[in-house]
């Protein structure tokens, strides 16, 4: 398994009360596959993804990504893991407003070991003609594509997407999903994506249904559906 999470537990303490957010989550995803995490608001999806992405720490359990046990890493090693292996895409694009499209992407390319070529990335996300524009001059879908470009320019082994289409309309969502599918196919990037939209589960090899900090169902698909053919 490329991602192997076993009995992951996480709680947060606010004031005197301790709340268990993840209550022993286990999941597996093979290299090159796409996994979708489905579940209601507050069920622990982002917490789980942040731990797999090395931006938050588990209380207990094992989190292996490509053979690396994240629970055993120190801060520096976790930073290396995040920088070298993980691309993150968020619901709200987190672009730097006073940098152009190209500069937003370069920020990440410059700290990457083996970045993809800028033109290749701009072409992949269809933003060749917008490379000198600023984020405020772009539509929501275009901004999300810059965020995707920024996440893939380092050619990460793992792409984590936290509701990548949450702020987008139907058509734009489908084109962003189709872009993610193309990245998965062409670069072999393993993708783990959070969504509220059950229809999006059809494009995944594996769907994990989360309820109140537990995976209540894991569905594996023999065949996946092209993003262009998903309807909701
Ligand atoms: N840093 C934190 N401190 C305290 N509680 C937290 C913290 N981060 C998350 N939580 C709590 O953990 C629970 C799960 O949060 P999480 O963000 O993982 O949910 P989610 O499934 O991603 O929800 P949504 O679909 O709304 O994004 C929530 O009740 C949230 O308030
Ligand atoms: Mg969330």
d(CA 205, CA 29): 9
Provide CATH code, domain 3-196.
3.40.50.300
For the CA atoms of 50, 54, 59, 63, what is the dihedral angle to 10 degrees? 100
Q: Tell me the CA–centroid distance for residue 17 and ligand 1, in Å.
A: 15
Domain boundaries, the chain: 3-196
**Among all chains, which residue has been given the structure tokens 């970045």?**
115
Displacement of CA 177 from its chain's centroid (Å): 12
Q: Tell me the CA–centroid distance for residue 132 and ligand 2, in Å.
A: 32
pLDDT digit of tens for each residue in the chain (232 aa)?
A: 999 999 999 999 999 999 999 999 999 999 999 999 999 999 999 999 999 999 999 999 999 999 999 999 999 999 999 999 999 998 888 899 999 999 999 999 999 998 999 999 998 889 999 999 999 999 999 999 999 999 999 999 999 999 999 888 898 899 889 999 999 999 999 999 999 899 999 999 999 999 999 999 999 999 999 999 999 9
Residues with CB under 6 A from ligand 1: 12, 14, 21, 39, 41-47
| Atom number, ligand 1, closest to the C-alpha of residue 49 | 18
Answer yes or no: are the C-beta atoms of 4 and 191 closer than 8 Å: no
Which regions of 132-211 does DSSP assign to beta strands (E)?
158-162, 190-195, 206-211
Q: Tell me the CA–centroid distance for residue 117 and ligand 2, in Å.
A: 31
Answer yes or no: are the C-beta atoms of 145 and 179 closer than 8 Å: yes
């Amino acid at each position: 398994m490329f991602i192997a999470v076993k009995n992951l537990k996480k709680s947060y303490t606010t004031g005197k009360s301790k709340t268990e957010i993840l209550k022993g989550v286990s999941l597996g995803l093979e290299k090159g596959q796409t996994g979708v995490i489905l579940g209601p608001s507050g069920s622990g999806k982002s917490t789980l993804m942040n731990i797999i992405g090395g931006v938050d720490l588990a209380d207990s359990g094992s989190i292996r990504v490509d053979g690396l046990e994240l629970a055993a890493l120190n801060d520096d090693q976790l930073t290396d893991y995040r920088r070298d292996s993980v691309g993150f895409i968020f619901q709200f694009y987190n672009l730097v407003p006073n940098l152009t499209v190209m500069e937003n992407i370069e920020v990440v390319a410059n700290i990457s070991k083996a970045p993809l070529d800028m033109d290749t990335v701009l072409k992949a996300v269809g933003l060749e003609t917008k490379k000198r524009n600023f984020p405020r001059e772009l539509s929501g879908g275009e901004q999300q594509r810059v965020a995707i470009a920024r996440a893939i320019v380092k050619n990460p082994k793992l792409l984590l997407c936290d509701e990548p289409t949450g702020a987008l309309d139907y058509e734009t969502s489908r084109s962003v999903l189709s872009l993610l599918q193309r990245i998965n196919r062409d670069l072999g990037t393993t993708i783990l994506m959070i969504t509220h939209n059950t229809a999006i589960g059809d494009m995944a090899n594996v769907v994990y249904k989360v309820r109140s900090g537990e995976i209540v169902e894991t569905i594996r698909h023999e065949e996946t559906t092209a993003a262009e053919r998903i309807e909701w």
